[in-house]
C-alpha cells in the first residue's frame, strides 16, 4: 500500500498507538492484570445515577429523542447546550461569553488535533511555527497530533522538593522562549501525567507571554476547572480572549459520550467550526444533551466540587499512603510528584539501574500495568536528561484494593531492581 505523507505520518508507530495497543492487548489477554495504565475515569455511583435519570427523562420525550439522534447539529455544536453553558459560565465567573465563543468537538482530543494544526505548521513563504509546551512532562496524546513533524517544542521544568519524598515541577521561565516561530502555547492543568497544577501565578505569566507575542494560550482543562474539578489545590478558573480553554465531559464520567468543549475568541471558534465541518460534518449531540440539565441547573459545578473532586481526592490519599508505607524510609531514593490533581501518581526513582521502560516490562510480567514515563516528553530535545527515563505514571482511578496491591508490587519490584544492582 502506498501512502501520502499524511498517511505515512499517521500510520507510523506513534507513541500513543503503541501504548494503546499494549494496554488493549494486556487487557484482552484475560490475565488478572492490575490496570493502572490508562486514563479511564472511575465509576462514580452518584454520577451514574444522575445520568440514568437524565436518560430516562429524555427517552420519554419525543422531541428530545429527535434532537438526540435525528438531527445534525451545526458544526459549532448543539445550540441549546452552548447557549446554556455560556449563560452558566457568565453567571458564575462573569466571563462575558456569547454562544459564538463556544464550540463542541467529538472529545477534546479532536479539538487539540484541530487547534494544534490551526496554529502550528506551515505558514507559507518558508515560515513554520511550533506549539510551545512550557512545562514538560506533558500529555502523550499531544505527541503525534501534528500533521507536520516536529510540531512541539517543550521546555524542561524546574524541580523543587516539597518534602523528603515529594517534588513539584514548576515552569522555568528563564528557559521558556516565545519567538516569532511560536504559533501557540499549551499547558494541561492539572497535568497528565504528573498531577501537577500550574499555579495561578504561572498561568498569569504564561498568559502575559502569549499576549506579548500575540499568540493564544491553550489551557487543557480536561481534569480541571470549572469542571470536572479533579483538583486538590486551589486553581482559579480563568478565561479571556487570549486563552483557548478546552474542557471535556470525559473525566466527569462520560468518556464514551466523546464531548469536548472549546471556549475561545469568536474568530477562533469560527475557524474551528469550519474545520470541524470538514472533518466531522457535525459533532455528536449525545454528550451535550446529557449534560444540558446539569449545566442549566449549575449541578455540573456542584457535582464536580462535591462529588467528583472528593472521590478522586480520597483515592489519591489512599494511594499515596499505601505507596509511602510500601517504599518505607530506608530503601532506595524515591519521590512522588505532589499530587495536586487529575488521577495519576507520578513516581520518580533517581539513578534507577534500569530504564522506566524496562521497569514497566518487569511490572507487566508481574501483572501490573503502568505507563513508562519516557512517553510524556513530546517536543523535548533528546539531551541526555536521564530524569525522563526514571519515572512512571500510575493511574489510581480504579478499585482501591487493586490499586493498593499494584502499588505494593511496584515498591517491591523497585527494591528488587536495586538489590540486583
Pure H helices in 219-355: 266-280, 286-296, 299-303, 309-327
Nearer to ligand PLP, 20 or 417 (CB): 20
Nearer to ligand PLP, 185 or 327 (CB): 185
Neighbour-count burial of 130, counting CB atoms closer than 10 A to its CB (0-12 exposed, 13-18 middle, 19+ buried): buried
For 234-252, the DSSP string reads -------TTEEEEEESGGG
Sole binder of ligand PLP in the list 76, 101, 109, 304 (CB under 6 A) = 109
CB 256 within 8 A of CB 41: no
Look at residue 396 and give its three-state secondary structure.
Answer: coil
- The 188-217 contact track toward ligand PLP, x by CB under 6 A, reads x---x-------------------------
Nearer to ligand PLP, 207 or 220 (CB): 220
From the list 103, 141, 63, 119, the residue with the least C-alpha distance to 282 is 103
* Contact call for residue 395 and ligand PLP (CB under 6 A): no
Grid coordinates of 72: 445534525
Helix and strand tally (H, E) in the chain? 13, 16
Interaction with ligand PLP in 231-250: which residues (CB under 6 A)?
Answer: 248, 250
* Contact call for residue 253 and ligand PLP (CB under 6 A): no
Sole binder of ligand PLP in the list 75, 121, 141, 226 (CB under 6 A) = 141
Q: Is the peptide bond between 190 and the residue preceding it cis, with omega within 30 degrees of 0?
A: yes
* Contact call for residue 260 and ligand PLP (CB under 6 A): yes
Nearer to ligand PLP, 20 or 159 (CB): 20
Residue nearest to ligand PLP (CB): 107
Region binding ligand PLP by CB under 6 A among candidate stretches 104-112, 203-211, 301-309, 392-400: 104-112
* Contact call for residue 304 and ligand PLP (CB under 6 A): no
CB 137 within 8 A of CB 117: no
Sole binder of ligand PLP in the list 155, 222, 275, 322 (CB under 6 A) = 222
Nearer to ligand PLP, 391 or 414 (CB): 391
**How far is C-alpha 106 from the geometric centre of its chain's CA atoms?**
15
From the list 345, 346, 338, 359, the residue with the least C-alpha distance to 397 is 345
CB 315 within 8 A of CB 41: no
* Contact call for residue 137 and ligand PLP (CB under 6 A): no
Q: H-helix or E-strand containing 54? A: helix 45-60
The Cβ of residue 4 has, within 10 Å, a number of other Cβ atoms equal to 8
Sole binder of ligand PLP in the list 76, 101, 108, 225 (CB under 6 A) = 108
Neighbour-count burial of 181, counting CB atoms closer than 10 A to its CB (0-12 exposed, 13-18 middle, 19+ buried): middle
Sole binder of ligand PLP in the list 202, 220, 340, 390 (CB under 6 A) = 220
* Contact call for residue 255 and ligand PLP (CB under 6 A): yes
Provide the residue count of the chain: 421
CB of 415 to ligand PLP, least distance (A): 30
Interaction with ligand PLP in 21-50: which residues (CB under 6 A)?
Answer: 39
CB of 313 to ligand PLP, least distance (A): 18
Backbone angles phi, psi at 89, to 5 degrees: -70, -35
CB of 191 to ligand PLP, least distance (A): 7
Judged by the rule CB under 6 A, the positions of this chain that interact with ligand PLP are 39, 107-109, 139, 141, 188, 192, 220, 222, 248, 250, 255, 260
Amino acid at each position: 500500500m502506498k501512502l501520502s505523507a499524511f498517511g505515512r505520518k499517521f500510520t507510523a508507530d506513534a507513541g500513543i498507538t503503541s501504548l494503546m495497543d499494549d494496554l488493549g492487548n494486556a487487557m484482552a489477554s484475560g490475565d488478572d492484570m492490575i490496570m493502572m495504565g490508562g486514563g479511564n475515569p472511575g465509576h462514580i455511583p452518584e454520577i451514574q445515577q444522575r445520568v440514568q435519570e437524565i436518560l430516562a427523562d429524555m427517552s420519554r420525550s419525543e422531541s428530545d429523542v429527535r434532537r438526540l439522534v435525528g438531527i445534525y447539529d451545526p458544526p459549532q455544536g448543539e445550540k441549546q447546550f452552548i447557549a446554556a453553558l455560556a449563560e452558566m459560565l457568565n453567571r458564575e465567573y462573569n466571563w462575558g461569553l456569547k454562544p459564538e465563543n463556544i464550540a463542541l468537538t467529538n472529545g477534546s482530543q479532536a479539538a487539540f488535533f484541530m487547534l494544534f494544526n490551526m496554529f502550528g505548521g506551515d505558514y507559507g513563504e518558508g515560515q513554520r511555527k511550533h506549539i510551545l509546551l512550557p512545562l514538560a512532562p506533558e500529555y502523550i496524546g499531544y505527541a503525534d497530533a501534528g500533521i507536520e513533524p516536529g510540531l512541539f517544542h517543550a521546555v524542561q521544568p524546574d524541580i523543587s522538593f516539597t518534602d523528603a519524598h515529594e517534588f513539584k515541577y514548576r515552569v522555568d521561565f528563564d528557559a521558556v522562549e516565545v519567538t516569532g516561530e511560536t504559533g501557540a502555547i499549551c499547558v494541561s492543568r492539572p497535568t497528565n501525567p504528573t498531577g501537577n497544577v500550574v499555579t495561578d501565578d504561572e498561568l498569569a505569566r504564561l498568559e502575559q507571554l502569549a499576549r506579548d507575542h500575540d499568540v493564544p494560550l491553550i489551557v487543557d482543562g480536561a481534569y480541571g476547572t470549572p469542571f470536572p474539578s479533579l483538583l486538590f489545590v486551589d486553581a482559579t478558573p480563568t478565561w479571556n480572549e487570549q486563552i483557548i480553554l478546552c474542557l471535556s465531559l470525559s473525566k466527569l464520567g462520560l468518556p464514551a459520550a466523546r464531548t469536548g468543549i472549546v471556549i475561545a475568541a469568536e474568530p477562533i471558534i469560527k475557524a474551528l467550526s469550519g474545520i470541524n465541518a470538514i472533518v466531522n460534518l457535525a459533532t455528536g449531540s449525545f454528550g451535550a444533551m446529557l449534560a444540558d440539565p446539569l449545566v442549566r441547573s449549575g449541578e455540573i459545578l456542584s457535582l464536580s466540587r462535591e462529588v467528583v473532586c472528593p472521590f478522586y481526592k480520597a483515592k489519591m490519599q489512599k494511594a499515596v499512603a499505601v505507596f509511602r508505607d510500601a517504599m518505607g524510609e530506608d530503601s532506595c531514593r524515591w519521590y512522588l510528584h505532589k499530587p495536586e490533581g487529575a488521577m495519576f501518581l507520578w513516581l520518580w526513582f533517581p539513578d534507577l539501574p534500569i530504564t522506566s521502560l524496562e521497569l514497566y516490562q518487569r511490572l507487566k510480567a508481574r501483572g501490573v500495568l503502568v505507563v513508562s514515563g519516557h512517553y510524556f516528553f513530546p517536543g523535548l530535545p533528546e539531551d541526555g536528561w536521564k530524569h525522563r527515563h526514571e519515572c512512571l505514571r500510575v493511574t489510581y482511578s480504579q478499585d482501591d484494593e487493586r490499586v493498593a496491591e499494584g502499588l505494593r508490587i511496584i515498591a517491591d519490584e523497585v527494591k528488587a531492581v536495586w538489590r540486583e544492582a
